[in-house]
Amino acid sequence: MYPAPAKWYDRRDAVFIEFCVEDSRDVKVIFDKTKLDFSCISGTDNVKHHNEVELFGEIDPKESKQKRTDRSVLCCVRKAEPGKTWVRLTKAKAKCNWLSVDFNNWKDWENDSDEDLSGFDKFSEIMKNMGGDDLDIDEHESGDSDDDQMPDLE
């Protein structure tokens, strides 16, 4: 078994972890109070992946959800203590070669004022609605979009 490559980012109420495995099947995600256990089979080569993550903080396993797509498995891990910053995903300070920070979605929310929190409502909504494979949400909600109007060149 090989660890699946993953990216993560922190939000006020949850931590998002995206396991980057294409064409995954037999996906199993077990949320425990202090750890997350992920496994699946991917690709035409039937590569078996397994990641066991001792988490930086405690989570609410009943409110944590997952969503599988053709390109990845996105996990929304609900924090037991909302508003507490996670400086890393893992309890251990050691660097994991399969884990990286998702800088496209990272936001330093700790110093935001209450008026600036309207953007985080969508993440609460995602967590409420996040279910199984039939959920229809955007995987990456970064501010960078190819659909933005480009100014005319002079």
pLDDT in tens, 25-82: 999 999 999 999 999 999 889 999 999 999 999 999 999 999 999 999 999 999 999 9
pLDDT mean over 89-117: 78
Phi-psi region of 92 (alpha: psi -120 to 50; beta: other; left: phi over 0): beta
Q: Kindly state the average pLDDT of the residues 112-132.
A: 52
Contact present, 4 and 40 (Cβ < 8 Å): yes
Comparing 150 with 8, the larger pLDDT belongs to: 8
3-class secondary structure, 121: helix
Average pLDDT estimate for 117-129: 52
For residues 40 and 59, give the distance between their C-alpha atoms in angstroms, rounded to a whole number: 22
| Secondary structure of residue 94 in the 3-state scheme | coil
The answer for residues whose C-beta is within 8 angstroms of residue 89's C-beta and 6 or more apart is 8, 15, 17, 53, 55, 56, 99
* pLDDT higher at 56 or 129: 56
The pTM assigned to this predicted structure is 0.71
Residue 13 is predicted with a pLDDT of: 93
- Say how far apart CA 21 and CA 27 lie, in whole Å: 10
Q: Of 4, 49, 18, 6, give the one whose Cα is nearest residue 137.
A: 18
Confidence band of 129 (pLDDT split at 50, 70, 90): low
Stated length of the chain: 154
Three-state DSSP class for 122? Answer: helix
- Asked if residues 120 and 10 have their Cβ atoms less than 8 Å apart, the reply is no
- Model pLDDT, residue 122: 53
3-state secondary structure of 142: coil
Q: Is pLDDT above 60 for 134?
A: no
Mean pLDDT over the full length of the chain: 82
